């Protein structure tokens, strides 16, 4: 304890060490957030963090600078100056990545100090390291932090990938509408052969309430493969101009045919990200598309 108390701290060395550490942490944050940022901005953000450390060292009696609020405001300033996010969502995402990078780096530093038996201590949230292997400790800590964070991000991305591929859609047709979840299906490249419009495949049971009664009869009586009956029903329907026959190929079925129709409007997404699409055709499928009904439609990726 006495040795730590008498330890001399060189401010210029401490400043440069923290600039390097902060620069590398911000660099990892930029990579994980997939943000292109110049080295100059990274350096400016790193120096802001390093100046804060110097203030804590020079003014140990000013406890306000070491409070949680002060540290949160500092991180806000670093993110704002370094990355200049335009939207709050982007700002918060980058801020979370910055915190994760910082916490993982701190944990890696402690681990290397322990296993390498380097001297060091913590005061006011600042890690002080002394010994001959300062640079190697910094580099190994940042590399380890980057690897750990990358693995965590990939695991979380794989875990939620299905949720990201599911989008709510609203199909409007003749003053009726239906809302359901659709899966963005990269294998769905269907287009209406007449208009070349992309096709959304929807379960009949999910969309039957917006269909005319005569069209519903085709699927209720399982006549969707009887082309003569289909042609007869559609030709006599008052909405016949809206309906299409869409050829498709799938496993075990080389010459399939879907009955489709052109809706008034399809809205894809939710809230501020919702967009309306008119140039689209809805293909009707008379079976379930998912076992647990997590989605009732297959969305053409061109529409996203």
Q: For 75-124, write each residue's pLDDT tens digit.
A: 899 999 999 888 888 888 888 888 887 777 766 666 555 555 554 444 54
Radius of gyration of the chain (CA): 30
**DSSP H or E stretch at residue 275:** strand 275-277
Q: Which domains does the chain carry?
A: 2-159 (no CATH), 164-303 (2.40.70)
**CB-side exposure of 245: number of CA atoms within 13 Å?**
15
pLDDT in tens, 154-191: 655 555 544 457 889 999 888 888 899 898 877 777 88
Q: Kindly report whether the global pTM for this prediction surpasses the value 0.85.
A: no
Work out whether strand 297-299 and strand 176-184 pair parallel, antiparallel, or are unpaired.
parallel
Under-50 pLDDT residues of the chain: 1-7, 119-122, 124-125, 132, 161-163, 251-252
Q: How far apart are CA 242 and CA 301, in angstroms?
A: 23
- Longest pairwise C-alpha distance within the chain: 97
User: What CA–CA distances, in Å, run from 141 to 50, 154, 168?
Assistant: 18, 20, 43
């Amino acid at each position: 304890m006495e040795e730590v108390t008498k330890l001399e701290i060189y401010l210029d060395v401490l400043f440069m060490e923290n600039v390097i550490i902060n620069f590398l942490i911000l660099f990892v944050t930029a990579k994980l957030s997939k943000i292109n940022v110049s080295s100059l901005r990274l350096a400016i953000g790193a120096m802001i963090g390093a100046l804060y450390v110097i203030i804590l060292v020079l003014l140990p009696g000013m406890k306000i600078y070491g409070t949680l609020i002060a540290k949160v405001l500092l991180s806000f300033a670093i993110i704002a100056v370094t990355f200049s996010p335009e939207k709050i969502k982007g700002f918060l995402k980058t801020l979370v990545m910055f915190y994760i990078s910082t916490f993982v780096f701190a944990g890696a530093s402690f681990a290397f100090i322990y296993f390498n038996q380097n001297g060091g201590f913590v005061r006011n949230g600042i890690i002080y390291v002394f010994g001959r292997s300062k640079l190697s400790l910094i580099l190994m800590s940042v590399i380890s932090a980057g690897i750990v964070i990358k693995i965590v991000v990939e695991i979380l991305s794989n875990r939620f990938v299905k949720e990201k591929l599911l989008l709510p859609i609203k199909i409007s047709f003749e003053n009726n509408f239906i809302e359901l979840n659709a899966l963005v299906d990269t294998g769905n490249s269907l287009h209406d052969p007449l208009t070349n419009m992309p096709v959304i495949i929807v379960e009949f049971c999910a969309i039957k309430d917006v269909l005319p009664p005569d069209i519903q009869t085709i699927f209720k009586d399982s006549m969707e493969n009887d082309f003569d009956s289909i042609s007869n029903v559609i030709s006599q329907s008052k909405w016949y101009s809206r309906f299409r026959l869409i050829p498709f190929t799938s496993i075990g079925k080389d010459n399939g045919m879907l009955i489709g129709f052109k809706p008034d409007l399809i809205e894809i997404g939710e809230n501020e990200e919702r967009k309306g699409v008119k140039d689209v055709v809805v293909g009707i499928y008379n079976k379930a598309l998912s076992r647990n009904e997590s989605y009732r439609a297959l969305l053409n990726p061109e529409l996203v």
